């Protein structure tokens, strides 16, 4: 049996960070060797197991990523923190020989390009993953294919009330994929001009003309619908995250793949769609409807 991949988690205080810690600690293919969150937080110095599932794991939560590097060097750092800190962690990771897998939203294009440059320079794998759900990846891919046949498109994304940024990373990534097709959506008829009686009521207009609407409501996890329209018809693609179990196949796929990479890869579809058609990826905790 191969040695397990040594993983550190950034953002251990968040819901996704704690969930991933439980997932990694219960999987023989991985070994959790470090965790950290906000410097100076009250959970620093606690056992990570006590934080995530109430069972001592023998891994103390560090104050910073630098402390993790000094105590038990990981091979991969899985980041669910905030955009600014995630970029700094990715820079430090790559220059220290550690591969970052970033699941944080709100990253700027110039920061992504900088990380890509460092990864190539260091000949190390890195991943930026807007969404680890297999169904969400397929939703974006199906939307990209459908976009060639429709002139109008809007995106509605819905998340829990604790999500800080809007639009979501998945919505922004979907919009960027549609923009890459070089088409302009939602053109007004000649001589017509929309008027917003309340600012923002028509959502955010992206470069391609696609509009994105963000909802934040209690009880939600992560949901997105891409709605296309033509004369006399509507076509929608919707993804529903029912629980966080839906993230496990994608997280495992990314952690195992980044070890073999020598550059930055953006999006899980580069792994999923390159897989053999015979490869089965179990979908749990999510729904995709077309």
What is the predicted pLDDT for the residue at 190?
Answer: 61
CA distance 151 to 185: 5
- For the chain, the domains span 5-128, 134-188+199-241
CA distance 44 to 64: 9
Contact, 286 vs 139, CB < 8 A? no
Nearest partner of 288 among 253, 242, 257, judged by Cα: 242
Contacts of 82 (CB under 8 A, 6+ apart): 11, 104, 106, 164
Structure letter (DSSP) for residue 2: P
Beta strands across the sheet bearing 264-266:
30-36, 5-10, 76-79, 99-102, 126-128, 264-266
Question: Mean pLDDT, the chain, as a whole number?
Answer: 89
Q: pTM of the entire structure? A: 0.85
Hey, what are 59's tokens? Answer: 């891994």
**Burial of residue 187, with CB atoms counted within 10 A of its CB: 0-12 exposed, 13-18 middle, 19 or more buried:** exposed
Q: What is the DSSP string of 136-202?
A: HHHHHHHHHHHGGG-SEEEEEEEE-TT--SSS-HHHHHHHHHHHTTT---SPPPTT-----SSTTTT
With H, G, I as helix, E, B as strand and everything else as coil, classify residue 238. Answer: strand
Mean pLDDT along residues 253-278? 84
Mean pLDDT along residues 281-290? 64
What is the predicted pLDDT for the residue at 191?
Answer: 62
> What CATH topology corresponds to 134-188+199-241?
Dihydrodipicolinate Reductase; domain 2 (3.30.360)
What are the phi and psi torsion angles at 237 (to 5°)? -125, 125
What is the predicted pLDDT for the residue at 67?
Answer: 93
User: Element (H or E) spanning 120, and its range?
Assistant: helix 109-122
Q: What is the DSSP string of 7-50?
A: EEEE-TTSHHHHHHHHHHHT-TTEEEEEEE-STT-TTTTSBHHH
In 10 A of CB 179, how many CB atoms?
17
Mean pLDDT along residues 202-229? 93
- Give the least confident one: 39-48, 99-108, 180-189, 270-279: 270-279
Choosing among 3.40.190.290, 3.30.70.1400, 3.30.70.580, 3.40.50.720, the CATH entry for 5-128 is 3.40.50.720
pLDDT tens figures, 11-51: 998 888 999 999 999 899 999 999 998 888 888 888 888 88
Which residues are designated catalytic?
159, 163
Contacts of 99 (CB under 8 A, 6+ apart): 75, 76, 77, 93, 124, 125, 126, 127, 258, 259, 261
């Amino acid at each position: 049996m191969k040695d397990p991949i040594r993983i550190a988690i950034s953002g251990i205080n968040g819901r996704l960070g704690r969930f991933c810690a439980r997932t990694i600690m219960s999987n023989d293919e991985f070994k959790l060797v470090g965790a950290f969150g906000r410097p100076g937080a009250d959970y620093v110095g606690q056992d990570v197991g006590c934080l995530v599932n109430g069972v001592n794991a023998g891994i103390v939560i560090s104050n910073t990523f630098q402390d993790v590097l000094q105590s038990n060097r990981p091979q991969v750092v899985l980041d669910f923190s905030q955009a600014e800190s995630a970029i700094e962690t990715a820079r430090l990771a790559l220059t220290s020989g550690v591969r970052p897998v970033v699941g944080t939203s709100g990253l700027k294009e110039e920061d992504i390009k900088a990380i890509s440059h460092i990864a190539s320079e260091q000949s190390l794998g890195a991943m930026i993953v807007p969404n680890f759900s297999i169904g969400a990846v397929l939703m974006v891919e199906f939307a990209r294919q459908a976009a060639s046949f429709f002139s109008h498109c809007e995106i509605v994304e819905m998340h829990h009330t604790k999500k800080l940024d809007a639009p979501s990373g998945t919505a922004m990534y979907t919009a960027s994929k549609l923009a890459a097709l070089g088409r302009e959506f939602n053109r007004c008829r000649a001589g017509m001009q929309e008027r917003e009686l309340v600012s923002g009521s028509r959502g955010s207009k992206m470069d391609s003309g696609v509009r994105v609407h963000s909802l934040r409501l209690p009880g939600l996890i992560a949901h997105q619908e891409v709605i296309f329209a033509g004369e006399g018809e509507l076509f929608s693609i919707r993804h529903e995250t029912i629980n966080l179990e839906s993230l496990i196949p994608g997280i495992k796929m990314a952690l195992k793949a980044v070890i073999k990479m020598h550059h930055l890869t953006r999006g899980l579809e580069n792994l999923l769609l390159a897989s053999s058609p015979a490869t089965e990826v179990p979908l749990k905790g999510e729904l995709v409807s077309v």
